[in-house]
Amino acid sequence: MRSGGPGVRMNHDSDEHFMAMALAEAEAGAAEGQTPFGAVVVNGAGEVVGSGHNRVRADRDPTAHGEMVALRDAWRRLGTRERLAECTVYTSCEPCLMCSYVLTQFRLRRVVYAARGTDVPAYRPLLDADLSAVAGWVGRQSDWSPIEVRGDLLRERAVAVLRAFDWG
């Protein structure tokens, strides 16, 4: 994967800080009875411009994944879709195929995730694809903006959040 452009690259300490915020979103969602997935969107200046957690059950909206909620929040705050391209998304779990596609369409340059999809009980990947596979494919396309992926950051904490949730 390529590294982000000017103002996009975060350092290791800031990555951990923002991932902790995404995990707090996941925990807040779980406390509300939502599946424990959370995300934050951070601009190139290191400011949180969007946040959210899974709201599928509450909103009766199958697209209300944590990443989607955070992106909608960021778009409202930033005012234009184009400004999302400078952002990094921190998410408590590797984005599903739907979220991965949306991230590429907004041309986000960087995604950092904690847990792997395979850490989620009853995980069933669509087309055997995950964000890393999507990012690799996107990177080989001449007319798509490449996306940098960093995985497994604070994974143990994320897995603990997943295990604490009643999936029944």
Structure token pair of residue 118 = 């395979």
CA distance 164 to 156: 12
Contact (Cβ atoms closer than 8 angstroms) between residue 92 and residue 116: no
Find the helix packing angle between 97-105 and 131-139, rounded to 10°.
30
Task: Tell me whether residue 148 is one of the annotated catalytic residues.
Answer: no
Task: Exactly one of 25, 67, 94, 148 is catalytic; name it.
Answer: 67
E-strand spans in the chain? Answer: 38-42, 48-53, 88-93, 110-115, 148-150
Q: Which residue in 124, 168, 160 sits closest to 26, CA to CA?
A: 160
Contact (Cβ atoms closer than 8 angstroms) between residue 90 and residue 122: no
Rg (CA), the chain: 15
CA distance 166 to 120: 12
Catalytic residue numbers, as ranges: 67
